[in-house]
Amino acid sequence: MRKQRAVIVSKKLEILLPDAKCSLIYSNPLQLLIATILSAQCTDRIVNKVTEKVFKKYKNIGDYLNAEQKEFEADIKSTGLYRAKARNILASARIIKEKYNDAVPKTMNELLTLSGVARKTANIVMGNAYGIIDGIAVDTHVRRLSQKFGLTTNNNPVKIEQDLMKLIPKNDWLNFSHRMIEYGRVYSPANKKNDNSDPISKALGRLN
């Protein structure tokens, strides 16, 4: 039944949102890494507004290495959780400099050594910056909708990702994540958690 649900969800997503993509604005892997860290519990719209200024001020890894913690906190404050985010970004810059020769790494294991980086961020960076597909990025939209559509009963993002990877073909993992995130914004926002009038919920309802 789960596999059947996954097929319906994937087909509907492809029809409704064929061109969904990462909505964070970036021009290189380092910018995407920073934007993704900033996006935790913050909308991409706000992140893009903040990074428009941040990326002009901090142009390369050296600029982050020389950044003052308090000043950088002020630069990213409107994204929320700014102290922890600033600490993680500046610590990650040091790790990238010391361990990875100034380049954001391309593998899951290496990305997970960066400060504040879990599988979601690593999947986003690998998939969008490098075209390397290792898993499915599970953000709040993907987690919520995967539960709503009966694709998982787990609440832990890592376990949800494992469930989804069994249901979704690997060549669709990146698109599936983008489309689920966009679907959550457009058709089924968090404030409509118990509302099943969205297109996918209606399609799945015919299974019951």
Convert the pLDDT of each residue in 169-188 to its tens digit: 999 999 999 999 999 999 99
The CA distance from 23 to 120, in Å, is 15
The answer to whether residue 126 is domain-embedded is: no
Q: Is 147 exposed, middle or buried (0-12, 13-18, 19+ CB in 10 A)?
A: middle
Structural domains in the chain (count) = 2
pLDDT digits (tens, 9 = 90+) for 110-158: 999 999 999 999 999 999 999 999 999 999 999 999 999 999 999 999 9
Do 60 and 103 belong together in one domain?
Answer: yes
Do 102 and 178 belong together in one domain?
Answer: no
Specify whether 120 is catalytic. Answer: yes
Give the domain range for residue 50.
29-118
Closest CA to 174 of 134, 144, 146, 147: 134
The CA distance from 109 to 133, in Å, is 13
Closest CA to 104 of 48, 201, 26, 184: 26
The answer to whether residue 181 is domain-embedded is: yes
Q: What share of the chain is helix, strand, coil (3-state, %, to 5)?
A: 65, 0, 35
The answer to whether residue 6 is domain-embedded is: yes
Closest CA to 40 of 81, 86, 72: 81
Q: Number of helices (H) and strands (E) in the chain: give both, helices first.
A: 12, 0
The model's confidence at residue 208, banded by pLDDT at 50, 70 and 90, is: low
Do 68 and 12 belong together in one domain?
Answer: no
The answer to whether residue 130 is domain-embedded is: no
The answer to whether residue 41 is domain-embedded is: yes
3-class secondary-structure state, position 136? coil
Of 88, 118, 148, which residue constitutes the final position of a domain? 118
Q: What CATH number does the domain containing 146 carry?
A: 1.10.1670.10
pLDDT digits (tens, 9 = 90+) for 17-66: 999 999 999 999 999 999 999 999 999 999 999 999 999 999 999 999 99
Specify whether 44 is catalytic. Answer: no
Name the active-site residue from 44, 139, 163, 198. Answer: 139
The answer to whether residue 123 is domain-embedded is: no
Name the active-site residue from 12, 85, 120, 148. Answer: 120
Q: Which two tokens stand for residue 158?
A: 């890592």
Closest CA to 127 of 183, 64, 170, 186: 170
The answer to whether residue 127 is domain-embedded is: no
Do 182 and 160 belong together in one domain?
Answer: yes
Q: What CATH number does the domain containing 53 carry?
A: 1.10.340.30
